[in-house]
Amino acid sequence: MKGAHAEDRALAHLLAAGHTLLARNYRVPGGELDLVTLDGPVTVFTEVRQRRGVAHGSALESVTPRKVALLRRAALTYLTREHGRDDLPCRFDVIVVQGDERSGPLTHLQNALD
């Protein structure tokens, strides 16, 4: 799986910050949620992005408006399917790893898609 080490690092970061893992690589038609965690009462949908270089833009720049729309749709499906409702408190975070997926700097951006 491409980016598995970056995703492992992101998950370890979230767990160390007190999150509880609800789902990993949750697939729905047309999309996937990398990590779904619980931060207190808030469901957090975290997109993990990793780029070795910046020739084609940074890891954060790879989260395009189309990707944001797919993430929002996948999150709505997750909430409805897994919790039976879509009005629970939630947020969208992005964790970026720039450079090597095992050792590059990791940055956690909360509410990154608002």
Angstrom distances, CA of residue 60 to CA of 41, 56, 103: 26, 11, 17
- For residue 102, the tally of other CB atoms under 10 A from its CB is 11
Asked if residue 36 is part of any domain, the answer here is yes
CA-nearest of 31, 13, 1 to 104 is 13
Asked if residue 74 is part of any domain, the answer here is yes
Query: Residue 16: what pLDDT?
Result: 97
DSSP assignment letter at 40: T
- pLDDT tens track for 17-62: 999 999 999 999 888 999 999 999 999 999 998 876 665 556 667 7
- Residue span of the structural domain in which 95 resides: 4-109
Asked if residue 26 is part of any domain, the answer here is yes
Total tally of structural domains belonging to the chain:
1
CA-nearest of 23, 12, 30, 34 to 79 is 23
Asked if residue 114 is part of any domain, the answer here is no
- pLDDT tens track for 74-109: 999 999 999 999 899 999 999 998 878 788 889 899
For residue 105, list its beta bridge partners: none
